[in-house]
Chains A and B, each alone.
Chain A
Amino acid sequence: GEDVEQSLFLSVREGDSSVINCTYTDSSSTYLYWYKQEPGAGLQLLTYIFSNMDMKQDQRLTVLLNKKDKHLSLRIADTQTGDSAIYFCAESPYSGAGSYQLTFGKGTKLSVIP
């Protein structure tokens, strides 16, 4: 079955760049996603990339996609304390009957040190 893997923890200093990595398994995903979950809160769609793109930039966020290696990364520039959260990588493989449910990694907890 599908398995999305990402490291569990990342610690960076405020102002540095953070890079969160993810490997996925299913090449049928049209989109690949990054979600952010702050303590006690829901899942916020942070950004996503279309599978035929290599890179997407959105303000401080840069998503890189290597389809050959099935590797996705999220770079956060000038990391701030407000970026402290759990970041989930997700793929959306086709599962039949037109359905594309999300398969999530276990999440990377980003801690930003002031």
Chain B
Amino acid sequence: QVQLVQSGTEVKKPGASVKVSCKASGYTFSSYGISWVRQAPGQGPEWMGWISGYNGKTKYAQKFQGRVTMTMSTSTSTFYMELRSLRSDDTAVYYCARDWDVWGSLFFEYWGQGTLVTVSS
């Protein structure tokens, strides 16, 4: 069965960086892309960007351009999302989510369990 297992809770100070991991299993890693979606308390989800499991090509939401980097390790079937220059309004639960299909349809059946990132001085 498809599983996306994320790293644990993070507490960071403003200006710091955070790197969240997402280990994939139960499907052919290279056939699907992964999106990173965050959800601030009481808010709707917000798409941050996407990385291809095939070649590591990335696509970032304009809001996060220059502040986010998405990478992957094919040897460990793990995706990573690094967000820099953290601010208090980056406090949210961060999810990885797998593309619906191999053609990159950006809606999501499979989600990681979420990683709470709290930014506070």
Do A and B come from the same complex? no
Interface residues of A (CB under 8 A from B): none
Interface residues of B (CB under 8 A from A): none
